[in-house]
C-alpha cells in the first residue's frame, strides 16, 4: 500500500521517488536553458526600446477630423465603381448604407455634402448611381436605412427624404440646360424600355461616350414608374423632369414606338452595335379560379394604369376586393379609394405580422380606410348573370413549410365577402411574344426572357437584358442596379473584352446586422430623426395629392448632420466616444455651421484615461485609435490634456507629448499639433 504524502514531502519514497526528483530537476534545467537562449528581457533605454504590440492600448489619436480633413465621396466612371466598392468592403471601410443598397448609392457622401450646404453637389453625386434621386426620394424602400449604424444608437438617417430634398434644391440652382455627355465612341446602343433599369443603363453608356437611342412604346417615358406608381406617391412632373435631364445629357428618346410591332427587333439589332431589352413586366397574373372570367375581375397593372391616367377606374360607388398583400396590392387599394370606391377590402394569405408589403404602406392605407383581412386565400369568384357579386375565401393556416418554401396550408373554413369588383394583385408577367418573334431570343416556360443573371447576356450575341424582365418583380433601386451591371457588360462587349471575364470585379453583397429597437424615450430630441409630415388621411384620400411632405432646408441640414460618416476614418464629433468613456476623459464639441462644419473641441485628459479601449471600439468612423506612444513624462500637469492638434498627431514612434498654451483653436489644422511638438 502507498504511504500517503505529507504536505512537506512531494515525492514518494524509494526508486519511484528518486525518478520523480530526477525528472523535476531535468525540467528545471531545461527551463533555465530556454531562458538563457532567449537572452535578457531588459533593454538599455533609450539606446534600446521595447517593441510594443499593435494591440497595446496607449494614448489615443485621431486619424482625421471634420474641418481638417477631406471626407471621402464615392464617385467615378461606371466601369470602376464595383472595384471601388469591393476595395472598401475588403478593407472593412464600406458603410452599411452604401453596402446594403443594391446600386451602392453613396448615402454617406450625400449626407456630408448636404450638411455642408453643398446640396447641388450632393444631388449630382447621388445621380451617378441612383439616376433619379427625386423619384427614388419618394418611392424607394430604402434598404440603406435598415443597415445604418445609427440604428444602434437611436434612429437611422432619413436617406430617402434627403434624396428628395437634394432634387428640390437642385431644381432651384440647375443651369438652364445641362451639359451633354461627351461622345467619344462611334458605336451606338439601343435601349428598349424607359423604366428605371433602362434609364440607368442609358445614363452609364452616355457617360462612357456611346450614342444611346431609347425606344418606348407608350407616348410618355417612365415605364412602370409612370403607369404603375400612383401620383400620390410620385408626382408626374418630378418623373418628367429627371427624364428630361437625361435627354439633355444626350439620350435620343423615341416614344410611341413599340418594338416588335411598329419596328421589328431584328431591324433594331442591325442598326445598332448593341441592344438592351429593359421592357419590364407589362401584364398582371390572375389565378385560374372558378369565376375569374366574370365581369368585374381585373388585373392590378391594368387597374393602376386606368386610375393613374384618367383618375377613373370604373369603380365609383362600388365595393372593391383586392387579392394580394404586397406593395402593388396596397397601391391598388389606395387608388380604388381615390377613384370613388365605396368600400375597399384587401385580403392576403399572410398574417398581420407577415404581410410582404412595407409596414408604412399598409399603415397609411389603414389610416385612409382600407380594410385588411389577413390569413385568407382565394377560393373562387362568386358571380351572378356573369357579373361579380362576391369573393369566396378560405382560411390559410400557414404560408410556408418547415424549410421556408412557399407552400400554403389551407383550412376547411370558408368566408364569402360581397363585392362588385375583384382585383388580383398576385404578381406580374412579361409580354414578349411580339417582341422576340423571329429573333432567336429564348423565353422560359414561365414567360420570362432567358438571360444571364450576372452578365445580363441573352441567347443572341450583342443583345442584353436587364430589369424585371429577367429578375421578376422587385424594387426600383434593384432594377437600377441591374441597369448599371448591364451597361458594364455592353461596354466590355463593344470594347472587345470578354463579358464574363474573371478579371471583371463583381459587386460584393455584404450582410449587415439587424439592430434591436432602441428605447427612444431616453434619447435627446436633437439626436432623433426628423419626422416626415403627412397629409391628413381624410383629406388626402379624396384626390391624388402627394401624401408626404418633404424636409424644410433647416430640417434637411440637421438630419444630414446626424450621419456618422461610418468607415471614413475622419472624426465627425458624434460624441459617442465621450458618452462611452467610463472615466469621462474625453470632451468633444462640434460646430455645425453650414459651410464650415468642424470638430471645434476634442480633448483627452490622460490623468483620467484608463486605456480601456471602449471609446475606440465605439468609434463608427474608425478615426479614433490607440497608439504605442507610451512615453508619457510631462513637466506641467496641463500638458496631460491633449487638444485637437495633439489628437491629430502621427502615431509613429513611442513619444507622446502635450502642448503648452491652452485649448487649440476651433477646427485646428494638423499643423497645430506638428508645430507644438
Q: Tell me: the pLDDT tens digits for 181-190?
A: 999 999 999 9
Q: State the pTM of this model.
A: 0.87
Q: How far, in Å, CA of 613 to CA of 598, rounded? A: 24
**For residues 377, 379, 384 and 388, what is the CA-based torsion angle, rounded to 10 degrees?**
30
| Tens-digit pLDDT profile for residues 5-57 | 444 457 788 888 888 888 888 998 998 888 888 776 676 766 776 666 666 77
The radius of gyration of the chain's CA atoms, rounded to the nearest angstrom, is: 32
- For range 465-470, the mean pLDDT: 93
Q: How far, in Å, CA of 196 to CA of 476, rounded? A: 6
Of 177 and 105, more confident: 105
Provide the grid cell at 261: 410591332
User: 3-state class of 383 per DSSP?
Assistant: strand
User: HSE of 226 in the Cβ direction (CA atoms, 13 Å)?
Assistant: 21
- State residue 422's pLDDT score: 97
User: 3-state class of 573 per DSSP?
Assistant: coil
Quick one: which H or E segment has residue 168? helix 159-173
* CB 98, CB 106: distance < 8 Å: yes
User: HSE of 361 in the Cβ direction (CA atoms, 13 Å)?
Assistant: 24
| Tens-digit pLDDT profile for residues 323-345 | 999 999 999 999 999 999 999 99
DSSP string across 485-552 = HHHHHHHHHHTT--TT-TTSPPPP----PPPPPP-GGGS-GGGSPPPPPB--HHHHTTS---SB----
| Tens-digit pLDDT profile for residues 501-533 | 888 899 888 888 888 888 888 888 888 999 889
Q: How far, in Å, CA of 113 to CA of 70, rounded? A: 11
| Tens-digit pLDDT profile for residues 260-299 | 999 999 999 999 999 999 999 989 999 999 999 999 999 9
Q: How far, in Å, CA of 636 to CA of 111, rounded? A: 42
Amino acid at each position: 500500500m502507498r504511504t500517503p504524502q505529507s504536505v512537506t514531502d512531494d515525492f514518494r519514497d524509494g526508486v519511484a521517488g528518486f525518478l520523480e526528483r530526477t525528472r523535476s530537476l531535468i525540467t528545471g534545467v531545461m527551463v533555465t536553458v530556454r531562458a538563457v537562449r532567449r537572452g535578457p528581457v531588459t533593454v538599455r533605454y533609450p539606446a534600446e526600446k521595447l517593441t510594443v504590440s499593435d494591440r497595446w492600448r496607449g494614448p489615443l489619436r485621431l486619424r482625421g477630423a471634420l474641418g481638417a480633413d477631406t471626407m471621402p465621396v464615392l464617385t467615378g466612371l461606371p466601369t470602376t465603381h464595383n472595384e471601388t466598392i469591393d476595395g472598401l468592403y475588403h478593407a472593412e471601410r464600406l458603410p452599411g448604407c452604401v453596402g446594403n443598397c443594391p446600386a451602392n448609392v453613396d448615402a454617406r457622401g450625400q449626407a456630408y455634402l448636404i450638411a455642408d450646404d453643398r446640396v447641388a453637389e450632393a444631388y449630382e453625386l447621388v445621380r451617378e448611381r441612383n439616376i433619379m434621386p427625386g423619384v427614388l426620394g419618394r418611392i424607394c424602400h430604402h434598404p440603406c436605412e435598415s443597415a445604418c449604424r445609427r440604428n444602434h444608437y437611436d434612429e437611422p438617417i432619413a436617406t430617402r427624404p434627403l434624396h428628395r430634398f437634394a432634387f428640390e434644391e437642385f431644381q432651384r440652382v440647375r443651369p438652364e440646360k445641362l451639359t451633354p455627355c461627351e461622345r467619344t465612341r462611334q458605336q451606338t446602343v439601343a435601349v428598349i424600355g424607359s423604366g428605371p433599369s433602362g434609364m440607368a443603363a442609358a445614363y452609364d453608356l452616355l457617360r462612357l461616350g456611346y450614342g444611346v437611342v431609347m425606344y418606348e412604346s407608350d407616348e410618355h417615358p417612365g415605364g412602370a414608374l409612370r403607369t404603375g406608381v400612383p401620383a400620390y406617391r410620385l408626382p408626374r412632373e418630378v418623373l418628367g423632369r429627371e427624364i428630361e435631364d437625361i435627354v439633355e445629357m444626350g439620350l435620343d428618346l423615341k416614344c410611341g414606338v413599340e418594338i416588335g410591332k411598329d419596328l421589328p427587333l431584328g431591324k433594331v439589332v442591325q442598326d445598332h452595335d448593341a441592344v438592351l431589352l429593359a421592357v419590364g413586366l407589362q401584364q398582371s397574373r390572375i389565378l385560374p379560379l372558378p369565376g375569374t372570367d366574370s365581369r368585374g375581375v381585373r388585373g392590378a397593372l391594368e387597374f393602376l394604369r386606368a386610375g393613374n391616367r384618367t383618375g377613373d377606374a370604373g369603380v365609383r360607388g362600388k365595393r372593391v376586393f383586392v387579392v394580394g398583400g404586397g406593395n402593388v396590392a396596397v397601391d391598388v387599394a389606395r387608388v380604388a379609394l381615390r377613384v370613388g370606391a365605396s368600400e375597399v377590402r384587401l385580403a392576403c394569405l399572410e398574417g398581420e405580422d407577415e404581410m410582404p408589403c412595407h409596414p408604412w404602406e399598409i399603415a397609411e392605407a389603414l389610416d385612409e380606410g382600407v380594410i385588411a383581412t389577413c390569413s385568407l386565400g382565394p377560393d373562387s369568384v362568386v358571380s351572378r348573370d356573369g357579373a361579380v357579386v362576391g369573393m369566396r375565401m378560405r382560411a390559410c393556416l400557414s404560408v410556408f413549410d418547415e424549410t421556408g418554401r412557399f407552400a400554403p396550408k389551407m383550412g376547411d373554413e370558408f368566408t364569402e365577402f360581397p363585392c362588385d369588383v375583384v382585383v388580383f394583385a398576385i404578381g406580374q408577367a412579361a409580354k414578349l411574344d411580339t417582341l422576340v418573334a423571329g429573333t432567336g431570343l429564348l423565353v422560359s416556360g414561365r414567360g420570362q426572357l432567358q438571360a444571364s443573371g450576372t452578365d445580363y447576356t441573352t441567347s443572341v450575341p450583342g443583345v442584353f437584358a436587364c430589369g424585371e424582365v429577367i429578375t421578376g418583380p422587385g424594387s426600383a433601386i434593384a432594377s437600377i442596379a441591374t441597369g448599371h451591371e448591364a451597361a458594364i457588360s455592353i461596354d466590355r462587349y463593344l470594347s472587345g473584352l470578354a463579358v464574363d471575364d474573371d478579371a471583371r470585379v463583381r459587386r460584393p453583397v455584404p450582410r449587415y446586422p439587424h439592430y434591436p429597437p432602441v428605447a427612444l424615450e431616453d434619447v435627446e430630441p436633437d439626436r432623433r430623426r426628423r419626422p416626415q409630415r403627412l397629409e391628413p388621411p381624410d383629406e388626402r384620400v379624396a384626390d391624388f395629392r402627394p401624401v408626404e411632405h418633404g424636409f424644410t432646408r433647416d430640417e434637411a441640414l440637421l438630419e444630414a448632420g446626424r450621419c456618422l460618416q461610418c468607415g471614413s476614418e475622419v472624426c465627425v464629433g458624434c460624441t459617442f466616444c465621450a458618452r462611452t468613456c467610463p472615466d469621462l476623459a474625453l470632451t468633444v464639441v462640434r460646430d455645425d455651421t453650414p459651410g464650415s462644419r468642424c470638430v471645434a473641441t476634442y480633448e483627452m485628459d490622460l490623468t483620467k484615461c484608463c486605456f480601456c479601449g471602449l471609446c475606440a471600439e465605439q468609434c463608427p468612423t474608425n478615426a479614433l485609435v490607440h497608439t504605442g506612444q507610451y512615453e508619457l513624462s510631462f513637466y506641467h500637469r496641463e500638458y496631460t490634456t491633449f487638444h485637437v492638434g495633439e489628437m491629430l498627431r502621427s502615431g509613429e514612434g513611442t513619444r507622446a507629448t502635450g502642448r503648452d498654451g491652452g485649448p487649440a483653436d476651433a477646427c485646428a489644422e494638423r499643423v497645430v499639433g506638428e508645430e507644438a511638438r
